[in-house]
Chain A
Amino acid sequence: MKESDARLGRSESPIGGRFYWLVGGIFTVFAIFALRLFQLQIVEGSDLRARSQRNSVRTLRLEAARGEIMDREGRVLATTRPAYDVAVIPNEVHGRDVTYVALAQLLEKPRAEVDERVAGWRGRERFQPQVVAADLSEEFLARVESHRFALPGVVTAVRPLREYPLAEVTAHVLGSIGEVNAQELTQPEFAAYAAGETIGKSGLEAVLEADLRGRAGGRNVVVDVAGREVDVIDEVEPRRGRTLVLTLDLDLQRAAAEAFAAQKQAENEVVAGALVALDPRTGDVLALASFPSYDPNLFAGGIQPDAWRTLVEDPERPLQNRALMGQYPPGSTYKALVAAAALQEAVITPEARLFCPGSYTLGRRTYRCWKKEGHGSIDLHQALVQSCDVYFYQLGMKLGIDRLALYARGFGLGRLSGIDLEPERPGLVPTSRWKLRRHGEPWQKGETVSASIGQGYNLLTPLQLAVAYAAIANGGHRVVPRLVERVEELDGRAARTLRPAEGGTVPVAPAHLERVARALGGVVQEPHGTGWRARVSGVAVAGKTGTAQVVRLERTADMNEDEIPRRYRDHAWFAAFAPLAAPEIVVVALVEHGGHGGSAAAPIVQRVLMRYFEKRARAVAEDADPRSGERG
């Protein structure tokens, strides 16, 4: 030690003059750190704090259940039920083989399917639930739940799923739902919607979207770096949408479906058509159906692409609501309107007889009556009962096309009915001006002849015909059909009641309408009536058959109906109301290519009427019983 001390010299420290230099260096570095901390924590502090929150706070949407839809008697037509999915969080699985094999056994699925759904998830996805089985039945759910603690990483999740218990039966009224698409999101009415949200796409689901939607809730959660929920900050419960109570009577709706199904079975072919039942006093829609139908439940969880393609490419177009969108010539059902117009315009009296030799000649053309041998001398009542074409050719010629059109419009044809359902087509009431504008040619007299028995340019929807017949039945009120009776809040309070709208008055005196109605009663009740297939025992039914030509009469006139290929066959109509004295229900049925209205459409109408009056009789009996009980 002495030796080294001597060498160094005590006064001469190896640090010596470098001390302040070193201290200065250290100070400088720490000062830089302090400045940088000031920059990050004070200057950029709030900005970086916000980023840190964005890192860790997520807002999860809690979807609201859509409102329920019920028929007039409170039976559920559309509801929202919880659907249970089983998912796997790959990162939390202990022992893949054991877990996946067990899960496959519980779900009775092949192991490969479970593997396929879960495998391949890397990175952050392995912390997120991967759905292995969607919408489990209660039995499977119970199985999985009871084994969950033995299977870490397996979770069950619940989501609201729209359900239509009646499926095809109510499809066209209720419509369907689907995910809001990019184009819809740009529209102002969907401004408050988020991508991926469910909206009504058609039917009442779309029309009353605002009521049915409800209000989505939300949950702010703290997530860790893996996206796992660590903590819940706050939560707003979702609120279910409002309940719709419809005017529809599920029993009649079912009866219509059964009637068309029976027809289909008899024909052994797809039967396309539509049925509308109205209460002529209020315009309440008691039944509204279009065939063929589809199962809207297919859309509820997001429709599979091939199922969608099948529906869209089906030549029978099951998605179209024929009751509002199908436009057909009215055929002989139009005669009731022509009769009313002729009486009002006094071009004929009820007692006046016109002669039917079996055909009517105008210029060089001959127009046949459906009865080749002719009806002979015939009055208005019998002309309607027997559906004499020649009688109405003459009435039409007396009225002229433009006067006819005026009355047709008065009955609600050629314009939207105003029903609370979309979309609807207006049909067509031809006039001479229309022809000139549309075709650039003047109206031909022969065209009036065709128009007066509901052929030619005339087009209407089954719903419009129901409105027109309701006006005959109720003494001249043009009802506005309504499907929704009221919208209820969750507590049952009515958010609003939709009163029957006033549609206007038909420009025909009630007495004339009553005379036409009586004749329509004869169509069903009298021996020569063409509508006898719509008879309901104990009830006076009034109605009219109709046969709308699809191809010109001449080609098929001599053929037996069964020999004609279905697509060339005429459309069959039947429009009816009952009871004749005080009508409560109007039913219109259309069967595309059904042939003659009396044979194809009348039985369908009969079935619905029968169901209606059976129910009414039961209700009357039930009303009577307690009273007798009180007396006793």
Chain B
Amino acid sequence: MFRIDRRLLQSFDWFLLALVALLLAVGFANLWSATYAGVESGLPWPVRRQLFALALGGVGMLSVLFADYRHFERLTLPFYLGVLVLLGITLLLAPVTRGNRSWLVLGTLRFQPSELAKLALVLCLARFFYRNPPQHIHRLRDLAWPALFIAAPVGLIVLQRDMGVALLLLFVGATYFLLVRIPLRAWIPVVVAALFALAGAWRFALRPYQRSRILDVLDPARDPLASGYQALQSRIAVGSGGLFGQGYLEGTQTQLRFLPTQHTDFIFSVLAEEWGFIGCLVVLAVYLILLVWGLLIARSSKDGFGALLAVGVVGMFFWPAAINIAMVLGLAPVIGVPLPLFSYGGSSLLVSFLALGLLFNVSMRRYVF
């Protein structure tokens, strides 16, 4: 099983690798631009750390790649439970960083277990739906277990006060619900309950700044200097890109730091300002191809577990990208969700690579059976 034969190497998904490499290259160039201002020599520290995470991610990806993914099925539950424990520990031990407790600090290494939770959840749900094929699920109550699997890490992350990642995890998990065959009318009570939950959350759980951010989407001119500042500056940055952009390293919004978190959450506005409409369309197209390619892998996989894993990995890339870009473009409230392969963030990059490793794994073994 651990032997790498010629057949596997031949069926390695070079196209997927090319897509990932392309996005990574653009992502690093963009991160450089977002952070190099004021650096006199050498690499800006975010780029340095990101390169370190890339190396780590590369090793992780390769190790995920060589073992047949089907072995992971057995490891799924322990991994999932382990991540839950890690989240619990984080909640108890982590220092408060920017209002939330989502970082585990080990010496100079800092890690966000909530990123790992995405992977654990995808593996866990893939296993569940592999055993309970979604095309045979017709009743809502059959989704009780997956709902619980989703709720557990989401709940812990909500307690960490990292609303963005909690929401993201909810969406990533719910990806699998798109595959079940429950009639639409059966969802009505769920939707009603969700609406009540949202209303309740608005009233009791959301903090004032979070409410402001949501209102700012509806009315961008509401509070341009305080809660709407980031969103406004982001829109200005994106718009000032025009058709061809201001040029690489030339974006004034970026280089003069009018965007507060431009190297993390607002990285896409850097791209938009400096590369313009054309550059954005190219990157969006590559991203789109990557996602569709992932779905094609899922469809062509001869193995149900592999297909479900591939769908989960697509979800892990689609949802953060959609939420992040919608936020940058002023279509969604300001939520701290990184753009995979672009935003600065070691944990995110590492987990993205592990997920891609799974995708490669499924892709190269789809003809094996």
Contact bitstring B124-159, A, C-beta under 8 A = 1, else 0: 000001110111000000000000000000000000
Interfacial chain A residues near B239, Cβ < 8 Å: 40-41, 44-45, 47-49, 51-52
CB within 8 A of A56: which of B135, B235, B256?
B256
B23 at the interface (CB under 8 A from A): no
CB within 8 A of B329: which of A7, A40, A51, A52?
A40
Interfacial chain B residues near A21, Cβ < 8 Å: 178
Contact A33 B325 (CB under 8 A): yes
CB within 8 A of A52: which of B135, B253, B287, B295?
B253
* A45 vs B314: C-alpha distance when bound (angstroms): 32
Contact B281 A34 (CB under 8 A): yes
* A346 vs B238: C-alpha distance when bound (angstroms): 96
Kindly identify, within residues 208 to 241 of chain A, every residue whose CB is under 8 Å from any CB belonging to chain B: 222-226, 230
Interfacial chain B residues near A19, Cβ < 8 Å: 295, 298-299
Contact A225 B257 (CB under 8 A): yes
Interfacial chain A residues near B298, Cβ < 8 Å: 13, 15, 19
Contact B240 A48 (CB under 8 A): yes
* A268 vs B219: C-alpha distance when bound (angstroms): 75
A8 at the interface (CB under 8 A from B): yes
* A225 vs B256: C-alpha distance when bound (angstroms): 6
- With both beta carbons as reference points, the residue of chain B lying nearest to A226 in the complex is identified as B257
A24-32, A129-137, A147-155, A332-340: which one contacts chain B? A24-32
A626 at the interface (CB under 8 A from B): no
Contact B243 A53 (CB under 8 A): no
A537 at the interface (CB under 8 A from B): no
- With both beta carbons as reference points, the residue of chain A lying nearest to B176 in the complex is identified as A14
* A36 vs B257: C-alpha distance when bound (angstroms): 24
B123 at the interface (CB under 8 A from A): no
Minimum C-beta distance from A14 to chain B (A): 5
A347 at the interface (CB under 8 A from B): no
By DSSP majority rule, is chain A's interface helix, strand, loop, or mixed? Answer: helix
CB within 8 A of B299: which of A15, A38, A53?
A15
B302 at the interface (CB under 8 A from A): yes
Contact B284 A14 (CB under 8 A): no
* A315 vs B291: C-alpha distance when bound (angstroms): 88
A98 at the interface (CB under 8 A from B): no
Interfacial chain B residues near A48, Cβ < 8 Å: 235-236, 238-240
B326 at the interface (CB under 8 A from A): yes
A18 at the interface (CB under 8 A from B): yes
Contact A15 B307 (CB under 8 A): yes
- With both beta carbons as reference points, the residue of chain B lying nearest to A50 in the complex is identified as B240
* A52 vs B179: C-alpha distance when bound (angstroms): 45
Interfacial chain A residues near B241, Cβ < 8 Å: 41, 45
* Total number of B residues with any Cβ neighbor in A under 8 Å: 55
By DSSP majority rule, is chain B's interface helix, strand, loop, or mixed? Answer: helix
B211 at the interface (CB under 8 A from A): no
- With both beta carbons as reference points, the residue of chain A lying nearest to B251 in the complex is identified as A52
- A37-B238, A48-B240 given; A8·B257 CB < 8 A: no
Contact B256 A10 (CB under 8 A): no
Interfacial chain A residues near B325, Cβ < 8 Å: 33
B318 at the interface (CB under 8 A from A): yes
Contact B311 A223 (CB under 8 A): no
A12 at the interface (CB under 8 A from B): yes
* Total number of A residues with any Cβ neighbor in B under 8 Å: 47
- A40-B239, A48-B236, A49-B240 given; A33·B329 CB < 8 A: yes
Contact A27 B277 (CB under 8 A): no
* A32 vs B241: C-alpha distance when bound (angstroms): 18
B58 at the interface (CB under 8 A from A): no
Interfacial chain B residues near A230, Cβ < 8 Å: 256
Kindly identify, within residues 380 to 394 of chain A, every residue whose CB is under 8 Å from any CB belonging to chain B: none
Contact B295 A23 (CB under 8 A): yes
A22 at the interface (CB under 8 A from B): yes
- A26-B318, A48-B235 given; A18·B284 CB < 8 A: no
* A13 vs B133: C-alpha distance when bound (angstroms): 9
* A23 vs B303: C-alpha distance when bound (angstroms): 20
Minimum C-beta distance from A110 to chain B (A): 36
Interfacial chain A residues near B63, Cβ < 8 Å: none
Contact B304 A13 (CB under 8 A): yes
A1 at the interface (CB under 8 A from B): yes
- With both beta carbons as reference points, the residue of chain B lying nearest to A48 in the complex is identified as B239
- With both beta carbons as reference points, the residue of chain A lying nearest to B126 in the complex is identified as A14
- With both beta carbons as reference points, the residue of chain B lying nearest to A19 in the complex is identified as B299
Contact B291 A52 (CB under 8 A): no
Contact B133 A56 (CB under 8 A): no
Contact A56 B277 (CB under 8 A): no
Interfacial chain B residues near A18, Cβ < 8 Å: 178-179
Contact A1 B70 (CB under 8 A): yes
Interfacial chain A residues near B237, Cβ < 8 Å: 52
Minimum C-beta distance from B276 to chain A (A): 6
Contact B284 A30 (CB under 8 A): yes
Minimum C-beta distance from A125 to chain B (A): 15
- A41-B276, A41-B277 given; A55·B253 CB < 8 A: yes
A-B contact list, 29 entries, CB within 8 Å: A4-B131, A13-B299, A13-B301, A14-B130, A14-B307, A15-B311, A16-B135, A17-B135, A19-B299, A22-B178, A26-B292, A26-B318, A29-B318, A29-B322, A33-B284, A37-B284, A40-B272, A41-B239, A41-B241, A41-B242, A44-B239, A48-B235, A48-B239, A49-B242, A52-B239, A52-B240, A52-B258, A55-B253, A224-B256
Residues of A within 8 A of B (CB): 1, 4-5, 7-8, 10, 12-19, 21-23, 26-27, 29-30, 32-34, 36-38, 40-42, 44-49, 51-53, 55-56, 222-226, 230
Excluding A32-B331, A33-B326, A52-B273, 13 further A-B contacts by CB distance (< 8 Å) are: A8-B304, A15-B298, A15-B307, A16-B135, A22-B295, A30-B287, A40-B329, A45-B242, A46-B242, A48-B239, A55-B252, A56-B258, A224-B256
Q: What 5 A-B pairs come out closest when comparing CB atoms?
A: A48-B239, A52-B240, A224-B256, A49-B240, A45-B242
